[in-house]
Structure 1
Amino acid sequence: MTRRLGKLAPRHDPRTFRMSAPLARALPVIPPSADWAPDVSWPMWCNDRYGCCTQVSVASAIRTWTGAAQAPILLTDDEVLENYSAVTSPPFDPDQPATDRGAVELDVLNHWIRYGLAMPGSQPGRSYLTAYGAIDPRNRQSVQRAIAFLGGAYIGLSLPQWCCDTDDDWTYDPQRDNSIAGGHAVWLHGYDADWLYLNTWGGPRRMSYEFLAQFCDEAYGLVARQHWSDIHGVSPKGEALDALVTEMRAVADA
C-alpha cells in the first residue's frame, strides 16, 4: 500500500489564539477517557495517491463531529480533492502531478473559516469552521481537554519513515531509526491513560503520548458550531462553548 504525506512545514502566526488556558477553565476536570469515533470504518480519501492529508484530517473531523452529534457526514474522494485544491497554490490538479505539493495547516484552517470547504449537501454543501486555537502537544492535559471538549484535535507531525512502512502503534523509541520521512496531518478523535486514537491511510491507529511530544510540530483545537452541537456529557454545550468562542474572537479582533 502506498502511503503519501503532504503536510508542509508549520507556519506559526503570533496572532493565533492560545487555547490551553481557556480550555482548562472550560473543562477543569478532565474525563479519564473519551473517544468520539470508536469502531469507525475510515476511507483512504485518496491519501495513497496524493498528498492530501491536511484535507483527510478535515474530512475525519467532520465525520467525527457529525457521527457523535447527529448522523455521520462522510466526504467523497472528489470533495476531499476539491478542498485540497482550494488551499494550494497553484491549485492542485490530479492531472498535473507537479501541483501535488501538500498544504500548510494554517492555510487550511483559515480558508475553512473564511470560505468554507466542500461537503455533501445541496446548493452545494459547505462546511464552516467557527474558530481555532493552538494547543501545546507536550501538555497531555491540554490535548485531552481539546479532544474531550471540542471533539478532537487537528495536529501535524514530522513523521518517521517507519510509520509509513508498518501498521504498528506509533510509539517513541530513541534506539529506533527515527529518520523523518516528511510532514503528515492527522485528526485525534480519542484518548485514554495510555493512548491517543486517530485514523490515517484508511485505518485506525494508536499513538503514545511520548510519540506526540517527540514528533508533533503543531496542534490545534477546532470549534465547529455547524457540526458540534447539543452533545451530552462532557462535550461543549451552551454557555461554555459560547464563552470560549467569544474569548477567541475578542483576541482576534484586538
Structure 2
Amino acid sequence: MKFGRKPFIPNEKDLLYRNYRRTALPPIPPSFGHQNLISDWGLLGNDTVGDCVIAGADHETMLWTAEGSVEASFTAANAMSDYSAITGYNPNDPNTDQGTEVRTALQYRQKTGMIDAGGNRHKIAVYLLLDHSNLLNELLEAVYLFSAVGIGINFPDSAMEQFNNGQPWSVVQGSQIEGGHYVPVVGYDGSYIYCVTWGRVQKMTVDFLKTYCEEAWAILSQEFLNGKGVSPEGFDFAQLQADLAAITGTPIPAPVSLSSISLLPTTLNLMAEQSGTISVAAHYSDGSSKDVSQLVTYSTAATDALSFQGNTITSLQNVSDQYNVTVSYQGIDTALVVKVSTNPNPKQTYDLKVCNLERAKADALMTFLRIIGFTVVEELQ
C-alpha cells in the first residue's frame, strides 16, 4: 500500500470551521455515519502510487452522491487522471509520483472537480480548516453535518500492521512514521472513529486521531447540498458565501439541482416481441442538460409484458396492448406510453394459374390484382 500526502503548511487565508459554527446546532447522536451505503470503495490506485489524497476525494464523492442521489462510480484510471492533472504525475516516469498537498487538491476540487467513470465532474463548494485545539469536537460535529471530513495523518508503521490484521488503529509507543496519508472520516460509534482507506472502512481510536492527525478539513459538497435540498442545518452558509467572495473573489456557486426530465418519444410504438429505444434528458436549475438515457429506472404494472435494459424496451408477448410506464431519474418521474401492435394482416401466398390468355388481358388482370392489394409475381411459360 502507498501513502502520498505532503506535509501541511499553515496558511492565514484558510477559512476556519469555527468561524461559521452556530451556537445552536442539532444534537449529535452517540453513533452516526452512512458508510454502509457503499459496498465497494475500491483502492483507486493507492496500492501502487501515492494518490491517497485523490483516492480519498473520490471516496468522499462516492458517499455524498450515494446519500444525495445516485452513487458516482470511480476507477483507478479516473484517479490517475486527476492525480496527473493536480501534481504532474506521469505514469511512465515513477520519479513523478511525489504525492499531493491536501490544500492544492481541495482548490482543484473546487475549481475543476473530480472526474468519475462516466466522465462527469464533481465539484465541492468550499473547504474549512478544523481547529486542532478542539479537534475531536469539531471533527465529530462536521462529520455529522457534512458526512465526511478529510484528515491528513502522519502514518506510523504500527498502523500498517494493524490494518493488515483487521485491527483498529491505535497508538503504539515507539512506532516510526512511514509517511503522510489522507483518509476521509465518515462515522463514529461512540468508541471508534470510522475512516475509509485502501478500499475499506477502517476504525481508529480517539487517541490515534489526536496523536497523528496533522490537518483536518470540513468539506461542503454540492452533491450533498443538492441531496438535502437546503444548506446543512445549523451552518451559516450565507455568511460563508460572503466571506469566501471577499477573501478570494470567488463566491460559492449556488447549488445546481435537477429540475425535470424529458423523454423522446413520449409514446413508444413497438411491434409485438420487438424492441425500441427512448432518449432521456435531465434538465438542471442552471439551464444545463445531459443525456441520462442509460441511468433511468422504470416501473409498470405490466412486468410480464415489457422488459427494460438501459434505454431499450422490449415487448415480451405477441399481443396488441397499451401500457403505462413511469420513467424515473434521481427522484423525478415522467410518464411513458408503450403501444404494442401485432401484424393484423399476415402475409399469405396464392398461386393463380391462367392459361391461354391473350397478353393484353393478362396485363389487365395483373394490374387489377395489384390495385386491390396483391403482390403479383409474374411467371411466363
Q: TM-score, normalised by structure 2?
A: 0.59
Asked if 1:153 is matched to 2:153, the reply is no
- Check if 1:128 corresponds to 2:126: no
Aligned ranges 1:107-186 → 2 under 5 Å:
107-121=104-118, 124-137=119-132, 138-167=134-163, 168-173=167-172, 176-186=173-183
SS of the residue aligned with 1:183?
strand
1:200 aligns with 2:228: no
Bigger radius of gyration among the two: 2
C-alpha displacement at 1:95, in angstroms?
1.6
Q: What letter is aligned with 1:178?
A: S
2:5·2:179 contact (CA, 8 Å) conserved in 1? yes
Distance 1:227 1:80, change over 3 A: farther
Residues 4, 99 of structure 2: 8 Å contact kept: yes
Q: How does 1:62-141 map to 2 (within 5 A)?
A: 62-88=61-87, 91-121=88-118, 124-137=119-132, 138-141=134-137
State yes or no: 1:243 paired with 2:238. Answer: yes
CA change 1:60–1:32 in 2 (3 A) is: same
**CA distance in 2 between partners of 1:72 and 1:183 (Å):** 28
Counterpart residue number, 1:20: 18
Secondary structure of 1:29's counterpart equals: coil
* Per-residue deviation, 1:240: 4.4
Q: Which residue of 2 aligns with 1:224?
A: 221
Q: Find the counterpart in structure 2 of residue 38 from structure 1.
A: 36
Report the CA distance between 1:79 and its aligned residue: 0.7
Question: What TM-score do the two structures reach when normalised by structure 1?
Answer: 0.87
Cα contact 1:23–1:146 (8 A) shared by 2: no
- The separation in 2 between residues aligned to 1:237 and 1:43, in whole angstroms, is 28
SS in 2 for 1:107: helix
Task: Tell me the secondary structure at the aligned position of residue 133 of structure 1.
Answer: strand
CA distance in 1, matches of 2:190, 2:2: 30
Deviations 1:8-59 (A, max 9, x none): 1112211100103423446253232220212632211111100000001101
Q: Name the CA distance, whole Å, in 1 between partners of 2:49 and 2:63.
A: 22
In the other structure, the counterpart of 1:5 is: 3
**Partner Cα distance (2:248, 2:102) in 1:** 22
1:59 aligns with 2:58: yes
- Could you say if the C-alpha distance between residues 238 and 39 of structure 1 is closer, same or farther in structure 2, counting changes exceeding 3 Å? closer
Taking the aligned partners of 1:192 and 1:211, their CA distance within structure 2 comes to 15
Unmatched runs of 5 consecutive residues or more in structure 1 = none
The letter for the 2-side match of 1:183 is G
For the residues of structure 2 that align with 1:12 and 1:34, how far apart are their CA atoms?
Answer: 30
Runs of 4+ in 1 over 6 A off after TM superposition: none
SS at match of 1:38: helix
Instruction: Indicate yes or no: 2:207 matched with 1:210.
Output: yes
What is the number of residues matched between the two proteins? Answer: 244
Gaps of 5+ in 2: 250-381
Contact kept? 2:67, 2:227, Cα under 8 Å: no
CA 1:142–1:4 in 2, change beyond 3 Å: closer, same or farther? same
Deviations 1:170-219 (A, max 9, x none): 1124xx33210010000011113211111111221001111111100000
Question: Higher relative CO (CA 8 A, sep ≥ 6), structure 1 or 2?
Answer: 1
| Structure 2 contact 145–232 (Cα < 8 Å) conserved | no
More helix by share: 1
CA–CA distance in structure 1, aligned partners of residues 5 and 104 of structure 2? 11
